[in-house]
């Protein structure tokens, strides 16, 4: 009788982080299309934001499914490759990253942001870059005893997060400064600020995941 294949937790980390990359890529493409429509002198239809959210929700549901599979197998796992708590923290944080990306389109619709500011698109690019680094980090995580290979990706995530922090501070300042110049803080300025905040939180979450990996490596060195 053939032995049942052993559940691969590391592969599921790659799958969940892959969902984050897929979602970030779709968001970036959506924002770039939004900017292209605005450049033609047309106003994008804000209802498309909630429609796109509903379309992309399948990615979030897939991420949830992978996370649930990890939790279910941990219940019966006799000998896990890492401490159970560490495995669950990784799965939860990666799934939360996808949830945070979902917040972007939600806030765009809630704040009725028709045209995305260039600074938001730039921040979206950084968030996408951060998710790519997390995905590469997860692909190497099964080699967690080979510290130098993984540390390269941890540093890459930290570098993106620092760049995102700088952009966030400056973009928030510029957005409210423009609103103040015309004598009031506009609803659009608040909406753009909400998008920037959501994306900055995505980058922060990527840094948290990289820190979790570093902690697990230290515990298993």
Q: Is residue 34 scored above 80 in pLDDT?
A: yes
Q: What number of CA atoms fall less than 13 Å from residue 177's CA on the CB side? A: 6
Q: Smallest Cα–Cα separation from 154: which of 164, 144, 168? A: 144
pTM above 0.85, yes or no: yes
Give the pLDDT confidence of 9-27 residue by residue, as tens digits.
999 999 999 999 999 999 9
| More confident site: 156 or 146 | 156
Kindly calculate the radius of gyration of the chain based on its CA atoms and give it in whole angstroms. 19
Sign of CA dihedral 67, 126, 208, 103: negative
**Is residue 92 exposed (0-12), middle (13-18) or buried (19+ Cβ within 10 Å)?**
middle
- Find out whether 218 and 135 touch, Cβ atoms under 8 Å: no
pLDDT band, very low/low/confident/very high, at 1 (cuts 50, 70, 90): very low
Write down the residue that tokens 């959501």 correspond to: 198
Q: Is residue 4 scored above 60 in pLDDT?
A: no
Give the pLDDT confidence of 142-151 residue by residue, as tens digits.
888 777 878 8
């Amino acid at each position: 009788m053939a032995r049942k294949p052993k559940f691969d937790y590391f592969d599921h980390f790659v799958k969940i982080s892959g969902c984050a990359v897929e979602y970030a890529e779709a968001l970036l493409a959506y924002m770039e299309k939004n900017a292209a429509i605005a450049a033609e002198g047309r106003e994008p239809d804000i209802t498309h934001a909630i429609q796109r959210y509903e379309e992309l929700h399948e990615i979030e549901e897939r991420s949830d499914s992978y996370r649930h599979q990890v939790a279910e197998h941990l219940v019966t796992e006799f000998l896990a490759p890492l401490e159970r708590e560490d495995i669950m923290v990784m799965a939860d944080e990666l799934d939360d990253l996808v949830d945070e990306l979902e917040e972007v389109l939600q806030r765009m619709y809630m704040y009725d942001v028709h045209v995305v500011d260039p600074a938001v698109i730039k921040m979206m690019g950084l968030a996408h870059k951060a998710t790519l680094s997390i995905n590469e980090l997860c692909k190497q995580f099964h080699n967690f005893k080979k510290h130098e290979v993984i540390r390269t990706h941890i540093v890459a995530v930290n570098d993106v997060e620092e760049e995102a922090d700088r952009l966030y501070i400056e973009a928030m300042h510029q957005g409210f400064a423009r609103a103040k110049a015309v004598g009031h803080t506009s609803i659009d300025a608040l909406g753009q600020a909400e998008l920037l905040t959501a994306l900055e939180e995505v980058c922060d979450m990527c840094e948290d995941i990289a820190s979790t990996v570093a902690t697990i490596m230290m515990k298993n060195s």
